[in-house]
Amino acid sequence: MTVVEAIILAIIEGITEFLPVSSTGHMIIASSLMGIANDPFTKTFTVAIQFGAILSVVALYYKRFLQSISFYKKLWVAFMPAAVLGFLMDDIIDMLLSNVLVVAFTLLAGGVVLVFIDSWVKGGEGEDAKNVTYSRAFKIGMFQCIAMIPGVSRSAATIIGGMVAKLDRKTAAEFSFFLAVPTMFAATIYKVFKFAKTGVGVSPEQVNLLLIGNVVGFIVAAIAIKSFIAFLTKYGFLYFGYYRIFVGVLIIILSILGVDLQLI
């Protein structure tokens, strides 16, 4: 992996991680087209740079993370369903991720849902994310479990879960960002630990790539989060739905053309 390739992947991660478009699908396309999808380091890199995205949430909303203990208890309630399911079904999830057609069709199905979700689910009145109840947090956590299926998008699942729980779009999106911190941190640590067990070392050059990737991911994710909140509040999910359908179709076309699409 070159520095340019690392920066490209980090930009894609930063843009797509918190948008309801599935970062997995984009990583599959980008790494495959660059010819580095089968490199073991690429697989570690795409997971490890999530740390930069996590830090962007903490930096942007640091005041929220200085709230009462109940804030963290609600995050814990929302986090646990996916944590337990992800641990129990890790091998199955990896198997699904290796099948790019599963990702493609999930992107398509999710895109159709997003096109119509604003008319199906109206959400609630404006509230502050710190006022999310425990029952709402648990419901959002259950929706996050759906994102265990590659291509669903953790962001899409949790924001829709928040709207089903009668939160408005902005509040649902912000709680989704907060929930991403423990969820992505746990997933990153777990995947890096699994990689470490393989005994494959990381060179000083690769360490530099990881640092670059996290810095770029941090900056881009911070910009994406602020832009997404404004866009979602004004326009809803419609255009994200169309975009997901486009990406899903693109993956299918590339697969038919014989492009080796693989992430794990």
Task: Read off the pLDDT of residues 87-146 as tens digits, 9 standing for 90 and up.
Answer: 777 667 666 666 678 888 888 999 999 998 878 776 566 556 666 889 999 999 999 988
- Taking the domains of the chain in order of start, what are their residue ranges? 3-256
CB-neighbour burial class of residue 125 (10 A; exposed 0-12, middle 13-18, buried 19+): exposed
For residue 235, the SS3 value is helix
User: How do residues 171-214 score in pLDDT, each as one tens digit?
Assistant: 888 899 899 999 888 877 877 777 667 666 667 888 899 999 99
Contact indicator for 144, 155 with CB cutoff of 8 Å? no
The pLDDT of residue 25 is: 76
Nearest 5°: phi and psi at 203? Answer: -80, 165
The pLDDT of residue 78 is: 93
Q: Report the C-alpha gap between 160 and 135 in whole angstroms.
A: 15
**176 Cβ partners below 8 Å, 6+ apart?**
18, 140, 154, 155, 158, 159, 162
The pLDDT of residue 264 is: 46
Q: In the predicted model, what is the mean pLDDT of residues 217-231?
A: 91
pTM: 0.83
**256 Cβ partners below 8 Å, 6+ apart?**
none
DSSP 8-state symbol, 191: H
Q: Which amino acid is at 158?
A: T
List the alpha helices (DSSP H) in the chain: 3-16, 23-33, 40-48, 50-60, 69-88, 90-97, 100-120, 134-146, 154-164, 169-197, 204-235, 238-256
Q: In the predicted model, what is the mean pLDDT of residues 47-76?
A: 87
DSSP 8-state symbol, 152: S
Q: Report the C-alpha gap between 235 and 241 in whole angstroms.
A: 12
CA 47 to chain centroid:
11
Q: Which amino acid is at 11?
A: I
The pLDDT of residue 189 is: 82
**Measuring CA to CA, which residue among 50, 66, 63 is closest to residue 218?**
50
Choice among 9-13, 48-52, 62-66, 117-121 with the minimum mean pLDDT: 117-121
- Residue 253's pLDDT band (boundaries 50, 70, 90)? confident
